[in-house]
Amino acid sequence: MKVLVVGTGAREHAIADALKDDVELYCYMSKINPGMSKIAEFKQGDEGEVEKVAEFAVDNDIDIAFIGPEAPLGKGIVDELQKNGIKCVGPTQSAARIETDKSFMRKLFEDYEIEGSLVYKVFDNSDDVSAFLDEFDRDVVVKPVGLTGGKGVKIVGDHLKDNEEAKEYSCEVIDNAMGGFAQVIIEERLIGEEFTIQAFCDGEHLAPMPAAQDHPHAFEGDVGAITGGMGSYSDVGGLLPFLSQKDYDAAVEIMQTTLKAIAEEAEPYKGILYGQFMLTADGPKLIEYNARFGDPEAMNVLPLLKTPLADVCQAVVDGTLDNVEFEDKASVCKYIVPDGYPETEYAGELIEVDEKAIEEMGAKVFYAAVSQEDDGIHLSGSRALGIVASGESIEEAEKVAEKACEFVKGNVYHRRDVGTQELVNKRVEHMKEILN
């Protein structure tokens, strides 16, 4: 079977790595990913030029295309590939609105009375924003309606001082059509602990993966700018130290109900559905959906996959998805980024990665926004690579991942606290306070 992975980052590297032993692997990437280029036939090109991706797929007799990033999904890459006879692990443009149009997602919850929703409003002018926030007596979250690479969300009490600053930022979003829409969503700020559940979907059936928790803040102690994610962890049993089986099951039920609603409102959803939840005193609440694997959360779950990913892909496109099995282990991912990220002066610099030493420790390297040139691996202004380790506990996995980070040299930084016992305990205690 010939499989094409579309995308160039660590998420796509993890997908390709999980496929490489069972398929004839091809990749279409905007930059030459040092890991993917070693294990696949590839073409360098803009993933958003969907006709060219489809042409490459047809020319190489691709059986299944696995779409990694969200932007091509929003441009209808699956529609274009399917038009050319290529089956896809990824939703159509219409179904992908679950991520690309947050107002569509919230209205879906409203119209189909799906559990786990929250108070929200969509605005397209500053006067209505001001009137709403003058009356709303709780802290809010401000979100662009469209895609912003995980960096457009701002929270009162975190990035914004108060609802007055929320007004200013909301106007900025509208005036600049941030994310491609001259609209903004204002939601109530939920109090609790965030967690992620990702699931394979075949249009009707859903196969959930182990839960994970991302760390979006740039710096240790959960401070600094919101980034695309600085690392994440998962735990044995597919749960998290603060997440019960009951709450996990409730979140999966929300996702299953959503899957049915998308099929009725748009088209059957085939691919990866990523649910970002907040565990609150009232149970799990849905913050947002992504129409693809999370980055870094894909790196937590894919190395633990026992069912061959090639088999899962076939079941997704055939509509025969059943149980998908994972190793009962914990995992920790730590992202290496340029010093100063998200603002950095080191874009373009060379880094040294001792892959052999990292692998000998039992860890894995997944390359992100770097580029393989003749003289080595160059940084960009974004995240460079993920270091992932698994173990019988989060503590065991974290120690391996942290040690492995020493084998990346250059002007780079990572959050040393991701997956540490201290930070995990902080999450557990926070949840206890909320529930008591």
How confident is the model over 244-262, as a mean pLDDT?
A: 98
At 226 the pLDDT is 85
Long-range residue pairs from 103-108, CB within 8 A, at least 24 positions apart, any chain: 103/145, 103/183, 103/185, 105/288, 105/289, 106/185, 108/258, 108/261, 108/262, 108/265
Average pLDDT, integer, range 147-154? 78
Residue 432, pLDDT > 70, answer: yes
Confidence of residue 120 (pLDDT cuts 50, 70, 90): confident
User: Distance of CA 203 to CAs 73, 88, 93, 200, Å?
Assistant: 16, 12, 14, 10
How is residue 112 annotated by DSSP? T
Give the per-residue pLDDT at 162.
87
Q: What is the pLDDT confidence band of residue 160, given thresholds at 50, 70 and 90?
A: confident
pTM of the model: 0.93
E strand or H helix at 67, and its extent?
strand 64-67
Between 113-127, 297-311, 347-361, the lowest mean confidence (pLDDT) is in 113-127
Poorest-confidence range of 104-118, 138-152, 270-284, 379-393?
138-152
Q: What sign for the dihedral angle of Cα 176, 180, 184, 187?
A: negative
Sheet holding 64-67, edge to edge: 41-44, 24-29, 2-6, 64-67, 87-89
Give SS3 for 9. coil
**With 80 as the cut, is the pLDDT of residue 149 above it?**
no
pLDDT digits (tens, 9 = 90+) for 48-88: 999 999 999 999 999 999 999 999 999 999 999 999 999 99
pLDDT digits over 167-202, tens only? 899 989 999 998 888 999 898 899 999 999 999 999
With a pLDDT cut of 90, the percent of the chain lying above it is 83
Q: How confident is the model at residue 150 (pLDDT cuts 50, 70, 90)?
A: low
Phi, psi of 308 (to 5 degrees): -55, 130
Tokens read off for 95: 């179904």
Q: How confident is the model at residue 4 (pLDDT cuts 50, 70, 90)?
A: very high
Mean pLDDT of 197-209: 98
Answer yes or no: is pLDDT of 135 > 90.
no
**Region of poorest pLDDT, from 81-85, 166-170, 286-290, 300-304:** 166-170
Q: How many other CB atoms are there within 10 angstroms of residue 282's CB atom?
A: 10
Radius of gyration of the chain (CA): 21
The number of CA neighbours under 13 Å toward the Cβ of 316 is: 28
pLDDT at 136: 87
Least confident of 25-29, 180-184, 375-379, 423-427: 180-184
Tell me: pLDDT of 157 over 90: no
- Going by pLDDT thresholds of 50, 70 and 90, the confidence category of residue 345 is very high
